[in-house]
Amino acid sequence: MQCRRIFRFIFILVTVMLSIAVLSLQGCAPAGKATLFVAQEDGHVLVSTDGGANWRSRLTRPDTNLWDISAVDEKTVWAAGQGYTADDGVVFRSVDGGNSWSQIYSGKQQYLRGVSAVDSTTAWATGGLYPMDLELRKSVSALVLVNPVIIRTAGGVSNWADKTPKNMFWGEVSRVAAIDADTAWVTAYSKEGTGAWMTDDGGVTWVRRFSRLNVQAEDIAAIDRDNVWVVCHDGSGLYSIVFRTSDGGKTWSSHRFAKDELVRSIAAVNDTTAWAVGSQGLVFKTTDGGKTWVRQKSATKRSLHALSATNPGNACAVGAGGAIIITTDGGKTWRKQFSTNKTDFFGVSMVTAE
């Protein structure tokens, strides 16, 4: 009888422990339906088709720095950057889930910081144009100002058109958020300061919907033509500010983060929910349209440069030294992904199957 009781106790204990283990694994398991694309500064793209559990590396071009990446679905993805020997802005596209890449754009004396894809044949890219070639710039010790660049291809990947408005006088166009082939938002500089500009006619005309002096834009996220979020830092470089509009830029609300809480990237999934990430592993989330931001424990102290989110539960951020963090529970827990590559990451795009 005593042996039976002991055996029953051991059986119950083991069952409970196994149940706890299964629940724990379920709570931290990767989002199996998520496909992730991460842009490296050395021309490689990391790809995961199982929510970050496993990764493979694919090369676009060996002499390229990749600054941004945008996935349409699990197969079609675009990447943009700059060749560091040929000194050209470049755009690559893959239609087989990142296994192979084709260079579909090259612009001399350019660099491209942002790319936003609409479908397999339509995308926007933004950056800067140097007023002099590489050899001349090397001989000039003074700061070389750049001119803005906005390009778009629609209906044919080799048919790129310059969509830069003439009243953007100088400075790079840092990021772009495309809604469709005709509608897009960009952050740019002009003599009036940092601005957010919008087009709804394919870039024929641009209207400045946001302008602030003494701030510099870091990133932009657009849900549609009306709901837009812009991340900036002030002139001192000590404070970050998120601006948000829900009426297409007619009015803007703002949230100022605490000193040294520097955020660099924002991803919004609807008109109330967004994440922002930045220096020293900072992660913030809002669920009330930006009125309040709650800091989340991110599982890394490395600076985070880019962010992608597909719904209120799933998001991925990447950054310095090969940092990759993922949440599948709305940010309650972030898990750090294993990576043997310590190269900095500057772009990430997440796609989740329905």
Percent of the chain past pLDDT 70, that is, above it, reads 84
Cα 245 to chain centroid distance, Å, stands at 20
Higher pLDDT, 10 or 176: 176
pTM of the model: 0.87
pLDDT at 141 over 50: yes
pLDDT for residue 28? 35
Structure tokens at 178: 């495309």
The pLDDT > 90 percentage for the chain reads 65
Torsions phi, psi for 261 (to 5 deg)? -90, 80
Q: What are phi and psi of 164, to 5 degrees?
A: -75, 125
139 band by pLDDT with thresholds 50, 70 and 90: low
pLDDT of residue 3: 40
Mean pLDDT of the chain, nearest integer: 86
Q: pLDDT category, 171, cuts 50, 70, 90?
A: confident
Contact indicator for 98, 78 with CB cutoff of 8 Å:
no
DSSP 320: G
Judged on CB neighbours under 10 Å (0-12, 13-18, 19+), 346 is buried
pLDDT attached to residue 20: 30
pLDDT tens digits, 17-47: 333 332 232 333 344 589 999 999 889 999 9
**Mean of pLDDT values over 130-136:** 72
Q: What integer pLDDT is reported at residue 77 of this predicted model? A: 98
Q: Which of 25-29, 41-45, 126-130, 131-135 is the least confident region? A: 25-29
Supply the CATH classification number for the domain 31-352. 2.130.10.10
| pLDDT at residue 191 in the model | 61
Mean pLDDT lowest among 24-28, 73-77, 117-121, 135-139: 24-28
